[in-house]
Structure formats: C-alpha cells, structure tokens
Amino acid sequence: MNKSPILYRQIAMVAAVVLAGCSLAPTYERPAAPLAPQWPQPLPAAVAPAAPAAGDLHWNKFFLNPSLRELIRLALDNNRDLRIAVLNIEQARATWQVRRADQFPTLNLGATGIVQPKADGSGGTSSAYTAGLSITGWELDFFGRVASLKDAALAQFLATEQARLAVQAGLIAAVATTWLNLQTDEEFIALTKQTLITREDSLRLTRLRLDNGAASRLDVRQAESLTAGAQATLQQNLRQRAQDINALTLLVGQPLTDDLLKAASATARPQFADVPAGLPSDLLVQRPDIRQAEQQLIAANANIGAARAAFFPRISLTAAYGSASSGLTNLFQNGFLGGTLGAQALLPIFDAGRNEANLASSKAARDIAVAQYEKTIQTAFREVADALAGRATLAEQLAAQQAQVDAEADRFRLADLRYRNGVASYLEVLDAQRSLFILQATLAQVRLAYWQNQVTLYKVLGGGATPPPT
C-alpha cells in the first residue's frame, strides 16, 4: 500500500499544530516618554505654522545653496560610514532570514548505499540502497521559542535601518557644518589679510614719522608687534582652512573639485528653509535614533519569550520518505516505497540554573533597553531645547554684534584721522585697531554659530533622515 498520503497528512497535522503555537514573550508596551509637554524656550512667531516638520522636509528642500546640496549628494553616494551602515542592514536582514527559516522544516534529498559481507560466512556480499526526502530535527515551536528569536532578529533588523537613517542625518549635518566652517575660514583669512595690509601701511607711516622726528621708537615697535601678530593669525587661519578642507573631503568620500571649494567662499551666504519645532512628543516618530532605541527594546522583549520557552519541552520532528532496494538498478523502479515519522521531546530536568540565569539576563537586558530608550528621548529633548535657545537669542546677538563692529570701525577711522593730523597719539590708533579686529573676528564666530544652529535644529528635530521625494 502506498503510504505517502498518510505521511503527508501527518506532516500537515503537525504543521497546523505548530502554526497555532503560543508565544511566551511579554506583551510589548511602549514606555511612557519622560518628556515635558512643551519646550522650555518660547517659539518664535517668524516660523510659519503651516511649514512642514523637519522630519518630513527632505534635505534638498532645507538646504537651498546649490554648492552645499552638491556636496551633500556626493557624501551620500561616497561616505564610508554611511556605506558601513547600509551593509549592517544587509547583515541584519540575513540574520533575520536565518531565524525565519528556522520556523520551517529543512527538506533534504539523500541517498545511501551499503555493501557488506554476508553473515553466513559464504564469502558473498549483501547490498542495500536507499534514496528519498528527509526532514531532520525540525523543532515544533509549541512554546514560541523559535518565533521569539525570529521576532528579536526582525526588531534588530529594523533597528539597523533606523541606525542608517541616523547616520545619514548626522552625515548631512556634518557636511553642512564643515562647509560653514570653511566659509568662516575664508572670512577670517580675508579679514586678516585686510588687517595685515592696514597694519603694514601703518607701520610704514610710523617709520616715516620716526625719520622725521614726529614719532618715537616705541610707536614703531608697537606697530611692528601688531603687524607680526596679524601675520601669525593669517598663517593660523590658513592652516585651519586646510584642515577643514581635509575634514570635508573625508565626509564627501572623494577629492573636492576647485569649483566646489571656490563656492565655499565668504561671499556665498548659506540659505536654509524654516522649520517649526512642533511638540516634544513629535520626537518619538521624527528622530531615527529614538526609533532605533525602541526597536532594540522590542528585540530585548522578544528575547524574554525565547528564554521562557527554554523551560518547556523542546519537541522536534524527523521524517523520511523514499525508496529502498537491494540493487541500485532497481532503486527507482521496483524498490520498496515507504516513509517514517518520528518525534522527540526533551524536557530540561537539571541544568545547574542555566535557564534561570538566561531568563534573568534577558530581563535585565530588557530593563537596560528601557533605560537606554528613555535616555535617548531625554537627550533628544535636551538637544532640541538647546537649539531652540540658540534660535531665540543668536539672531539678536548677531545684530548687536554687527552694530558694535560698525561703531568700532567708525572709532578706528576717527582715531586714525586724528593721529594723521597730529591731534591724537598713536596708542589711540593701536587700541582702536586692535579692538576692531577682535570684534570683527567675534562677529564672524557669532555668524557661524547662527548658521550652524539652524543646521543643528534641523537635525535634532529629525531632519535629514527622510527618503528622497518620489
């Protein structure tokens, strides 16, 4: 009698039981977010409330400068950190696929042949050949151990996807920040060169006045000191520009063309779109690092289910169906067709506390993941609050700094005019010149902080992690 239909029905019944198996993992509940309902800083009225949230605004809609957008595009194509993050996704996906495959039986095709001497001492040989399909050691997941491991691997896979988005957002912000640094370097260099020219002219005039008895050697030495100081500052700024070019090259992942470097000049003002801050609770869905931390928490929660299932019997199934014959030529023609079905159940009786320790470890890992999730949310809240504080104050600070520079520039002009007409001493000119240079440098730093704060606010609100628009 052909036994294959009976065997197939038995396997189908077992599979139905397995698919109806339970899970011992705790029901996942998202922890309460340790967030205040509102930001500590008042939101400016200048940002249109209808503007898209940072997490929904693609980076090429936020960064409006063409050269900066080209640098970001090159970085997304060539940056090695981002490439590693993408490969981590592929590795996590493969691990999840392995865990998912554990839920299904592995079907093998096998053939054996045995030739051995006959036991009757006649000197002859006997042979036996088999060929067929087999399932070996398929675990019937009644208690959800395999399913929990699969769920944990899936959550880790989703976490690596969010990690890639976080790396992308950080890369975009780093490129923009370094580009702004390079712009400020160019501004410092131009400022220092202009100051050096002014001080060299002043030094020549002071030496001429010394030759005519209208100035002292002390005036000359003071002018020489200021000139040498400007020369030293110029070399420092040139070195800083070279280092920022190297940093930008590393971020972009390829050598920068002269056109891109020329575009990052002090005259190429950055242009950014405005984004609303929204509510603190929006961070839970806008920030990829928060979503990553939550997926890691889900994975830790699923691992508890696998640890709990280890206390229960582990049932595995072995099945085979094929043909057997004493002759190789008759194996697939006149061979005996048949199958076997066997099951094995193993219940842990004594393991020296291994299962209890694994369960305790998985619970502790879940608690750690909860704390990390909450810490990620708190860190995100602090980063946004800091950026909002910068947006609320840096614009006014920049305007006040510009007014101070304008006043100091006029004071230097008047002091130089008074000195050239013999009304004031050279010390008055030197003091005005030194103060003007310091204030101009401070203005450039405040302007840099103002632009970088806009980039930072866009990033910490979840910007830069959205896929390109279709």
Indicate whether 203 pLDDT > 80.
yes
pLDDT for res 123: 66
Q: Is the pTM of this model over 0.75?
A: yes
- Residue length of the chain: 470
Task: List, in order, residues 6 or more apart from 217 with CB less than 8 Å away.
Answer: 210
DSSP 51-84: SPPGGGS-HHHHB--HHHHHHHHHHHHH-HHHHH
CA distance readout (Å), 293 to 297, 300, 334, 360, 369? 6, 11, 62, 21, 7
Instruction: Look over the chain and give the mean of its residue pLDDT values, rounded to a whole number.
Output: 85
CA distance 223 to 86: 58
pLDDT for res 7: 46
Indicate whether 2 pLDDT > 60.
no
Among the listed ranges 152-166, 180-194, 257-271, 401-415, which one has the minimum average pLDDT value? Answer: 257-271
For residues 316 and 138, the answer to whether their CB atoms sit within 8 Å is yes
At CA 75, angle to CA 74 and CA 78, rounded to 5? Answer: 85
Helix (H, G, I), strand (E, B) or coil at 12: helix
Indicate whether 214 pLDDT > 80.
no
pLDDT in tens, 412-423: 899 888 888 878
Query: 153: how many CB neighbours lie within 10 A of its CB?
Result: 23
